[in-house]
A = this chain, B = another copy of it.
């Protein structure tokens, strides 16, 4: 259940192009909220909303120094999200393999009949 909530928050946080951009930007180094907001022409409250969603998923951490809020990448490393997708892909591929071998078998059967 707890792991499920981590996945909910991570995938929700990643489901927005601005939030994915923020993560790419922060991978290059910390930045203030003002610096993050600038390229998008969105308001500071709008940017703070995005930051809050990323912080809830532990993808970003921020702290206030004087009048400036500095953001950096958070402790979450997206391992859970990545693992879930890989697990699902493995199930998927196994299913396609079975389908492949079934179709191969059927096709062979057909040519011999």
Out of B7, B73, B95, which one reaches A95, CB within 8 Å?
B73
Q: Is the interface of A mostly helix, strand, loop or mixed?
A: helix
Q: Are A7 and B27 in contact (CB under 8 A)?
A: no
Known A27-B95, A77-B89, A85-B85: A14·B7 in contact at CB below 8 Å: yes
B78 pairs with A82, CB closer than 8 A: no
Which of B28, B81, B84, B91 makes the CB contact (< 8 A) with A27? B91
At the interface, yes or no: A56 with Cβ under 8 Å from chain B?
A: no
Interface residues, chain A, with chain B CB atoms under 8 Å away: 4, 7-9, 11-12, 14-17, 20, 23-24, 27-29, 73, 77-78, 81-82, 84-86, 88-89, 91-92, 94-95
